[in-house]
Copies of this chain bind each other. A is one copy, B any other.
Amino acid sequence: MNRVCPIISLLTDFGSQDYFVAVMKAVILGIVPSARIIDICHDIPAQDIRRAAFVLTCSYSYFPKGTIHLAVVDPGVGSSRRPILIKTKNYFFVGPDNGIFSLVLRQQSLVKVIHLSKERFFLTPISQNFHGRDIFAPVAAWLARGVAPEEFGPRLDSFTRLSFASPLVKKEKIIGEIIYIDHFGNLVTNIHKDLLDGFCQSAKDFRIIIRGKMVTGLVNSYSDLPKSKALAIIGSANYLEVAVNMGSAEKFFRAREGMKVEVWRR
């Protein structure tokens, strides 16, 4: 970890109309004035742990090694759900034990999980509904200052993992689903580039069906097709995406997360 200018990322569902994120940053800077705080996203829909897990898994690995990722989408705040710190090979993750780190932990080798229980690192009195401010931000900050993970509490043997739908691979088709729709209306599926490569001989060898509409083959650029045409592309997270050149595939297909996407071999 770079203890001179440690990097702390923030991911929450706090939105931008209140002061919640700012207060977390203020608490961090009060403990570790040299911290570099980077917002990943605060517009996760309220309580949507799964979306937060996906956003985190698409972004955490671009940060320098040693970055502390602070993720607070926390519908169980104030209940018995545990606050945790996870150390993996290259990063630290701080947040509630509700599955928000599930996808990251499919990729990163786990070193240890700590139950955050040492109140001396918390802001007191601890509020009932803002552990981002009172527990997670100060813990991330003390960690950034060099406190060892073990000092925050005992090790845990198990923690919450959410399951995420995997594509179903049949002889003639892959049945996947839309797992994420981005700001541009691009439809990100759970069909990974590698799965697709194994399934088809070439990018021209398949067609995609969403809600009865067909999209043929892969393009290399949105502008390979005329304006307002639907297209398929391998997106920046290495999953199959369906997009519309200069438009929104979300609107074009009236798509929603969870909808089925079929890839048929020709």
> What residues of chain A have their CB less than 8 Å away from a CB belonging to chain B?
2, 5, 7, 9, 14-23, 25-27, 29-30, 33-34, 36, 38-43, 46-47, 55-56, 58-59, 62-64, 67, 75-79, 127-130, 133-134, 182-184, 186, 220-224, 233-236, 241, 243, 246, 248
Shortest distance from the beta carbon of A125 to any chain B beta carbon, whole Å? 9
Cβ of A9: which chain B residues have Cβ within 8 Å of it? Answer: 22, 26
Contact of A59 among B19, B59, B67 (CB under 8 A): B19
Whole-angstrom CA separation of A54 from B29 in the bound complex:
22
Given A222-B75, A233-B128, A236-B133, CB of A26 within 8 Å of CB of B38 = yes
20 pairs, A vs B, C-beta closer than 8 Å: A5-B33, A5-B34, A7-B29, A14-B183, A16-B42, A18-B41, A26-B59, A26-B64, A27-B62, A29-B38, A62-B133, A75-B223, A75-B246, A76-B223, A78-B223, A79-B222, A79-B224, A127-B234, A128-B234, A129-B221
Shortest distance from the beta carbon of A224 to any chain B beta carbon, whole Å? 7
Tell me whether chain A's interface is mostly helix, strand or loop, or mixed.
Answer: loop
Shortest distance from the beta carbon of A160 to any chain B beta carbon, whole Å? 14
Shortest distance from the beta carbon of A186 to any chain B beta carbon, whole Å? 8
Cβ of A248: which chain B residues have Cβ within 8 Å of it? Answer: 46
Cβ of A62: which chain B residues have Cβ within 8 Å of it? Answer: 23, 26-27, 30, 133
Interchain CB contact under 8 A, A78 and B16: no
Cβ of A59: which chain B residues have Cβ within 8 Å of it? Answer: 19, 22-23, 26
